[in-house]
Amino acid sequence: MSENQPKKKALGSVVVNAERCKGCGFCVEFCPPRVLALSEQYNSKGYHTPVLVEPDGCTGCNMCGLLCPDFAIYGFLVAKKKK
């Protein structure tokens, strides 16, 4: 990749409430740009919780948030900082 190529702009991001997560994996599997993964870390109940492994690729579509059975993750569109 050329150093002169502009960095990809993340359209969105996610909020993870790790303590609520039960590690089901729905968000990871059904994320359309596949930017989530279950982390090596785990919460106090022992579940591996999701983490944004490619933050720049998140579109903010909130498919993770819609599917999550535990209300442990949701996505949102990031507000752009105007020039």
Partner 1 sequence: MSEDTIDTCETCVPVNAVEDVLRMERMPHIWCPGCGIGTTLNGFAHALETSGLDLRKVAMVSGIGCTGRVSGYLKLDSFHTTHGRALPFATGLKLANPELKVVVYSGDGDLTAIGGNHFIHAARRNLDMTVILINNFIYGMTGGQVAPTTPIGATASTAPHGNFEEPFNLPYLAESCGAVYVARWTAFHIRHLTKAVKEALVKKGFSFIEILAPCPTLYSRRNRLGDGLDQMKHFRDDSEIRNGADTKTVGLDFQGKIVVGKFVDKDKPTYLDSMNAFYAAKWGDKYTPYKG
73 phi/psi in degrees, rounded to 5:
-150, 145
23 binds partner 1 (CB under 8 A): yes
**Given 26, 37, 39, 54, the residue binding partner 1 (CB under 8 A):** 26
Strand extents, DSSP E, the chain = 12-16, 36-42, 48-52, 73-77
42 binds partner 1 (CB under 8 A): no
Q: Smallest distance from the beta carbon of 40 to partner 1, in angstroms?
A: 18
53 binds partner 1 (CB under 8 A): no
Among 72, 13, 20, smallest CA distance to 43 is for 20
Residue that has been written with the tokens 């059904």 in this structure: 30
What are the residues binding partner 1 (CB under 8 A)?
Answer: 6-7, 9-10, 13, 15, 19-20, 22-26, 29-30, 47, 63, 65-71, 74, 76, 78-81, 83
